[in-house]
């Protein structure tokens, strides 16, 4: 992968310990929400002409594609879904879709869901507008009689219980999901979307036991002209960091400040703050599994 210029690699681990030896780290996590149907809140839907259209994923994924490509969760470390992947998702799972259209017939949101006995299982929940969100929530509430429990596995750990009038009605469980690793360090930083206010000028000693070209001392400089990363000679004043921890920081999963406080990287408070100024400020989100 390194020779082919691959920047990132994701995988579903059978063992976290095994893949950590290959430089991978736990980056993606999900929250699974479970709520009894009787505890669903009432939803007030505006009479704005929007409506829900239902159908099989195989017949509706073309309508979903533009939404998925625009939404926040697909832009935080998600994958690009080619047509063959949409078709595979349908063939493998047989999922259904509830698509929200506005008064002009433009798609504004969708649910991908399945049924399992007395459970309605939400696979994806996408809403670009408040109206679409309310329409889709009302669609779920209408299934109170049919299903005893609603299950939704959200693709990130952004907590959503404050949306409900009584969060105690919900069981929320954080689940480790997929792992990731930076493969080609230079290519990764050449494309990295650093925040506009990022400022850094430091050397870090990167430990990568599997890719010799990554292992060593690197000078990271971020200015108004962008990110510059170059390999340098040994430096006595440098941050000590592994490829696993570097992947967590720059995928948005952890802060350098937090890792330094826990002793998982060696850095002063000022150095950790510099690294944090460069990292994306959103938690990573991955819906797909492969």
Percent of the chain having pLDDT more than 90?
A: 79
Across the chain, what does the average pLDDT equal? Answer: 92
Let me know if the fold of 29-176 is the same as that of 183-278: no
Q: What's the pLDDT tens digit per position in 120-170?
A: 999 999 999 989 999 999 999 999 889 999 999 999 887 777 667 777 888
pLDDT value for 163 = 67
Banded model confidence at residue 212, pLDDT cuts 50, 70, 90: very high
The arithmetic mean of pLDDT across residues 171-185, rounded, is 94
pLDDT value for 287 = 93
* Domain covering 29-176, topology: Aminopeptidase (3.40.630)
pLDDT value for 72 = 82
Q: What's the pLDDT tens digit per position in 229-273?
A: 999 998 888 899 999 999 999 999 999 999 999 999 999 999 999
Query: What would the CATH number be for the domain defined by 183-278?
Result: 3.30.1050.10
Would you kindly state where each structural domain of the chain is located, as residue ranges? 29-176, 183-278
Residues 71, 264: Cα–Cα separation, whole Å: 33
């Amino acid at each position: 992968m390194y020779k082919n210029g691959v920047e990132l690699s994701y995988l579903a681990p059978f063992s976290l310990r095994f893949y950590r030896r290959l430089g991978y780290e736990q980056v993606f996590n999900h929250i699974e929400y479970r709520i009894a149907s009787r505890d669903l809140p009432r939803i007030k839907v505006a009479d704005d002409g929007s409506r829900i259209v239902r159908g099989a994923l195989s017949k509706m994924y073309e309508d979903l594609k533009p939404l998925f490509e625009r939404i926040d969760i697909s832009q935080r470390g998600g994958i690009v879904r080619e047509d063959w992947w949409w078709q595979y998702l349908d063939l493998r799972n047989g999922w259904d879709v509830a698509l929200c259209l506005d008064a002009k017939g433009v798609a504004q949101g969708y649910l991908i869901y399945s049924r399992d006995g007395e459970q309605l299982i939400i696979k994806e929940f996408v809403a670009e507008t408040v109206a679409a969100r309310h329409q889709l929530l009302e669609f779920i509430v209408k299934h109170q009689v049919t299903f005893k429990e609603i299950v939704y596995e959200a693709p990130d750990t952004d907590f959503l219980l404050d949306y409900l009038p009584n969060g105690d009605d919900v069981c929320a469980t954080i689940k480790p999901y997929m792992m990731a690793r930076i493969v080609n360090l230079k290519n990764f930083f050449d494309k990295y979307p650093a925040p506009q206010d990022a400022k850094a000028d430091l050397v870090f000693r990167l430990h990568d036991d599997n890719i010799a070209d990554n292992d060593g001392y690197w000078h990271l400089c971020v200015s108004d002209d962008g990110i510059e990363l170059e390999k340098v000679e040994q430096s006595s004043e440098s941050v000590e960091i592994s490829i696993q921890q570097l992947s967590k920081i720059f995928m948005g999963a952890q802060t350098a400040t937090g890792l330094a406080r826990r002793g998982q990287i060696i850095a002063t408070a000022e150095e950790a703050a510099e690294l944090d100024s460069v990292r994306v400020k959103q938690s990573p989100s991955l819906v797909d599994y492969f």
